[in-house]
Structure 1
């Protein structure tokens, strides 16, 4: 066996772009000879200046992108896993824990063109197999904003419903907690029973039969005492709810804040309110739209329960300024790094504990992702590696596999007796090498210990 340890030629994997159809226009995408069915958006690294937190990056590109779906990639923008969906609606893709195991979860709308059915949440395992489909009870649709698995074996979900209040049609926001084992509804909180329409900053339609989205719930967090923090975009407020009864314990921000807001605290059209380990509350302050602030920022607010005052402790902004008119989040990482997904703007930034940029990137052209995350994820897909032949080269990939270190190129005339020709180092999602001059070609995946972990189907050379 002729064994060569070399860097595989992967230029065609990321450099070749393909244009795909989209109901909002065409956008550039990646192209792979071994997986011509995959067209994830191209990721451009704008700035990299230091050691980021470990792990891969998670987004769910949608809007102007040839294919929408959950996507994982590395710090160099190289694809790890992508699942194109039959819908333009995908959101909140992340890693969570389910029954003691790491899983992938996301929100998914009904298929494009289908007018019946409800949106739902997906739970998939490390082999990318679907474990569960979760829907809120009482025929409510799964809402795009939050699907949070808890240590109690429950799921916290944002919900929406259309009701009549004050002679008009109103879209109310809700929070539902569902026991995933029994299906029991532990909490079904509805905003119109607790928050009057007068708290909203959103302008009501003149036509009273058109829905008035006065609340717009967009985040749920479990507070340190087990109660819930709930963010409502259109009231510019964060609410603390008693988890068992749904009673509002306090309001932060908005027209009826229980806390007196210190200088720089007031936020608007916000997302992703989370309690931090140091006791502060972190908020993705969109500041638009309509625009209230000059730029979107992430703020850390200290609440003094004795004096009922809220004080601004820290602010993170992007340079040059970004105004995210909707969506967005931040994630606390090891060593107090902070990952920010800029929502409507297709950009992701990682900051160190001092606010210095360690990584800045953009994806797609006109795409967006509701949130962005970083996780240490190990994927072991079922099925085989995929290969393709093009102009005398063999291209190989294995969508979602994170433990492949090298590829062993095989050749021969008998599919049951193919022999190793050479071994190449894995280089990104798709690697390539000169195809052996044999009737049949296949590729075997090896892990870092040299163990065989996967074998492609053989291809016959033309």
Structure 2
């Protein structure tokens, strides 16, 4: 996937639980790409969502000539028309297409035009970064209009949930406004109401007036706002101490299987898991702020055994005195290894099994017999040895 001004052109690859490639979808959406660039595959990087009907949703950015005089631009300006497609991964058939330009006014954008709006740098007025399905409807997020759109099966907008005004829902609850948001997801969908979570960036480097601490929000909303429907209810408002400020990216999952919550913070490369009450249970960091980013993060139970790789074994001297050796074994991607069988070869002995070492996390260490000239290990899964490493000399 090539990244260009936060826009991507690439393919979608689906793997099985042995990390074998099952499907590669390389869509050609007939896009216009700035500077006459061409890309064989044109799926964008912002969203790939597997639906409950065995299809997937993917975003795309199409450079489109548009009148920008309403934004103090030129009549022959250029914008990114934000699209999404629903695709059958088995046949590559496009089942549905939606265009932001066909349904939303450019003047709804909060993104400054600045020096953009030309053929080389189109105006990113909408910035689609999330799309999911809700039955036969779609939930689409626009970062730059501060709005989440609920579309019917034809693509028409049933309602807007706007972060500054509430959109079709009216005034938002106290502490319930949002801006530049990411990763809205529906939960507990019932006949007339559902819960909506989102990652509220709440600030943007181009907007000096909106430098606020980033937070996460969960609302309870009526499926169809209108006279007599319940007003939006703010269920959760999760903050951080000290505060974090994420200009872009980020994700929030309020309903992990253990009852906790998970958030990632975009270009601030933190992952945080919170208890149900919002207390931080653990924090991880992917690297220095200027060098690492986490667009989205997930925590799920995953079971897999690689079919095309083998365990990696390293044998090193035991400390500076070199009085013996230790082996260190890993098998990246293998989730269900319970133990390692240790085999050694000596100068006057053939290959022998000398013991079994219980799995001790990502890297397991063990002592190598003093008479060994080479070492090999085997991964044990469900009581059966499934794969061996290569031999390593001592």
- Cα RMSD after superposing both structures: 2.5
TM-superposed CA distance for 1:310, in Å, is: 2.8
Distance 2:357 2:267 in 1: 40
Name the residue aligned to 1:119.
10
Asked if 1:349 is matched to 2:272, the reply is yes
Q: List runs of 5+ in structure 2 lacking aligned partners.
A: 32-41, 68-75, 318-324
Q: Distance in 2 between matches of 1:416 and 1:192?
A: 75
1:319 is the counterpart of 2:241: yes
Q: Please show how residues 201-240 of structure 1 align to structure 2 within 5 Å.
A: 201-206=110-115, 208-209=117-118, 210-223=121-134, 225-240=135-150
Q: What does residue range 264-275 of structure 1 map to in structure 2 within 5 Å?
A: 264-275=175-186
Unpaired runs of at least 5, structure 1: 1-108
Report the counterpart of residue 54 of structure 2 in structure 1.
153
Q: Could you tell me how far apart the structure 1 residues matched to 2:348 and 2:199 are?
A: 56
Which of the pair has more CA radius of gyration? Answer: 2
Q: Which has the higher contact order (CA 8 A, sep 6+)?
A: 1
* Residues 286 and 324 in structure 1, CA contact (< 8 A), matched pair in contact too: yes
Report the CA distance between 1:262 and its aligned residue: 2.1
* Contact persistence 1:384–1:455 (CA under 8 A): yes
> In structure 1, what is the Cα distance between the partners aligned to 2:311 and 2:286?
26
SS of the aligned residue for 1:350 comes to strand
Seen in structure 2, the aligned counterparts of structure 1 residues 377 and 227 have a Cα distance that, compared at 3 Å, is same
Q: Does 1:443 align with 2:361?
A: no
What TM-score do the two structures reach when normalised by structure 1? 0.70
**Deviations, residues 409-430 of structure 1 (Å, cap 9, x unaligned):** 2112599951122332222222
- Check 1:445–1:215 CA distance in 2 against 1; reply closer, same or farther (3 A cut): same
| 2:387 counterpart of 1:387 | no
1:419 aligns with 2:349: no
Quickly say closer, same or farther: Cα 1:414–1:260, change in 2 above 3 A.
farther
How far apart are the structure 1 equivalents of 2:88 and 2:45? 20
Does residue 205 of structure 2 align to residue 282 of structure 1? no
Residue of structure 1 equivalent to 2:213: 295
Give the conservation status (yes or no) of the 8 Å contact 2:327–2:366: yes
Cα distance between partner residues in 2 of 1:358 and 1:430: 24
Aligned match for 2:151, one of 221, 228, 241: 241
Where does structure 1 differ by over 3 angstroms across 4 or more consecutive aligned residues?
306-309, 413-417
CA distance in 2, matches of 1:414, 1:370: 53
> What displacement does 1:286 show?
0.5
